[in-house]
Amino acid sequence: MALKGTIKDFGVADIFQLISQQAKTGVLVLSNDVDAVRVYFKDGSVVRAENTTRPAQMLLGNFMVRAAILPQEKLDQALKEQAKTLKRIGAVLVDLGLVTPEIITEFSTMQLTETIYQLFEWKVGTYEFESVEVEPSPEGVKPIRAETIVMNGIRMTDEWPGIRERIPAYSWKVERMRALPPAPERPKRNEDEFDFSSFEGGDGPSGDIDGIGSYERKIYGLIGQGRTVQNLIDLSRLGEFEACRALSTLVGEGYIRIVKPGDPQTVDVDRDTMGARARRLLEAGVRIGVSSALVVLAAWLLTRAPTQLGWRDPGSAARYQPQVVAAHVSEAQLRVLRRALDVYRITHGSYPEKLEALVEAGLVREQDLNFPYQGRYFYAVNAGAISLLPPLR
């Protein structure tokens, strides 16, 4: 399979999807002006990923030092031994009895996913796939389906902007504001370590009704001793995105605050704004990056009386134009539906014949298919291309 080109013309998600669909085995090399990453596929699943220009903070040993698994002096000892034996650092650490093979597998998996998910933020660069034999991960990392990576990458791309609004800098300190509610009784489940069920909403680590799941509780329990955002990311062993997502939820719900070192003023988000409410709904009830919170916002706007929206005099109320509100809401709804259609295509290999299939797949709700005020959106598929328009009025 000849696969070579630029990321601007053919995005990372499409590249991974194509390799997955054809169950290819080989090495995908992606590069830009800063990084060069090699992703190893076996039968369409990812088994390894290496950043050949990997910064120090992404090295396996440094991950474990920052997570308080390994003292720096022990890592230095292992690095000296590695220079003599030329073994992989994971094997050296196990041979010296400093960590267990399970720990090496855990941190190697996190190193792999952290490397891959950064690719979804690339806007420019080149890629080339070469079909060659690929060996399994020497660290015992289980293969991860490319479809799972793509869906999670889409979700991350969608949520990162809102998360970063609440986390100005990783060097800032995190403080508790109030206690968490008791954890609800939940039936035990066999979670796939690489299924990333928190992305699916509802039942995942962040899926409690109040938006506080196991990841949020883990982060909350680590707060203390002047720890910073970066400390919590490292100690939680959840990965950058999951840890920051949990922090963002805790900030939005008022359980914690993020403080600039030496500054008593807190950095928080007004939890009473509609934007914050919409984000909390997205975090608690969305599946695969598609939010129905915009529909809730639409209902709020369309049902409020002009005086409730802040107009205090009859003259200003006369200027209230529902059609303007509907146009803005429709634009937001269309973005949600297009994103849902893309996720459906990635998951099923083609666009659905009808919009109702998005509801059946759990990507949107029934009311997301209706234009504000009246009528269902027009949708058609023709030669692999979609048409999605507001209904004729």
- pLDDT per residue of the chain (393 residues) written in tens, 0 to 9: 568 899 988 889 999 999 999 999 999 999 988 889 999 999 999 999 998 876 666 788 999 999 999 999 999 999 999 999 999 999 999 999 999 999 999 999 999 999 999 999 888 899 999 999 999 899 999 999 998 999 999 999 899 999 988 998 999 999 999 999 988 776 555 544 444 444 333 344 545 546 789 999 999 999 998 999 999 999 999 999 999 999 999 999 999 999 988 765 555 444 433 344 444 434 434 444 444 544 444 444 444 444 444 444 444 444 445 565 566 567 777 777 877 787 777 566 678 888 888 888 878 888 778 877 567 888 888 756 777 887 765
Residue type, 298: A
Q: How far apart are CA 26 and CA 135, in angstroms?
A: 10
What are the b/e assignments for 68-101, b being 16+ CB within 10 Å?
A: ebbeeebbeebeeebeeeeeebbbbbbeeebbee
249 neighbors 211 (Cβ within 8 angstroms): yes
CA distances from 293 to 78, 126, 364 (A): 50, 36, 10
194 and 261 part of one domain: yes
- Give the burial class of 186: count Cβ atoms within 10 A of its Cβ; 0-12 exposed, 13-18 middle, 19 or more buried: exposed
- Give the burial class of 303: count Cβ atoms within 10 A of its Cβ; 0-12 exposed, 13-18 middle, 19 or more buried: exposed
Q: How far apart are CA 113 and CA 143, in angstroms?
A: 11
Give the SS3 label for residue 232: helix
pLDDT of residue 193: 42
* 240 belongs to a structural domain: yes
292 neighbors 285 (Cβ within 8 angstroms): yes
* 90 belongs to a structural domain: yes
30 and 131 part of one domain: yes
What pTM value is reported for the model? 0.62
The pair of structure tokens assigned to 90 is 């994971």
347 and 380 part of one domain: yes
134 and 15 part of one domain: yes
pLDDT of residue 291: 45
41 and 92 part of one domain: yes
17 and 127 part of one domain: yes
pLDDT of residue 341: 80
Domain ends where: 267, 301, 328? Answer: 267
391 neighbors 378 (Cβ within 8 angstroms): yes
* 148 belongs to a structural domain: no
129 and 229 part of one domain: no
pLDDT of residue 322: 55
Q: Which residues have C-beta within 8 Å of that of residue 269, sequence separation ≥ 6?
A: 165, 166, 251, 252, 276
205 and 162 part of one domain: yes
Task: Measure the CA angle with vertex 156, ends 36 and 334; round to 5°.
Answer: 120
* 173 belongs to a structural domain: yes
Q: Which domain holds residue 346?
A: 290-389
Query: Minimal CA–CA distance to 256: which of 228, 287, 234, 290?
Result: 228
* 200 belongs to a structural domain: yes
33 and 109 part of one domain: yes
Domain ends where: 220, 252, 267? Answer: 267
123 and 223 part of one domain: no
pLDDT of residue 31: 93
Domain ends where: 115, 142, 169? Answer: 142
Q: How far apart are CA 108 and CA 141, in angstroms?
A: 7
* 227 belongs to a structural domain: yes
383 and 309 part of one domain: yes
Query: Minimal CA–CA distance to 183: which of 211, 157, 156, 158?
Result: 211
Q: How many CA atoms lie within 13 A of 180 on its CB side?
A: 21
pLDDT of residue 308: 43
* 138 belongs to a structural domain: yes
Residue located via tokens 């997502």? 245
* 150 belongs to a structural domain: no
261 and 332 part of one domain: no
Tell me how many domains the chain contains.
3
Q: How far apart are CA 214 and CA 180, in angstroms?
A: 12
Q: How far apart are CA 126 and CA 33, in angstroms?
A: 10
Q: Which residues have C-beta within 8 Å of that of residue 255, sequence separation ≥ 6?
A: 176, 177, 178, 179, 180, 212, 216, 220
Greatest Cα-to-Cα distance within the chain, rounded to the nearest angstrom? 83
pLDDT of residue 382: 75
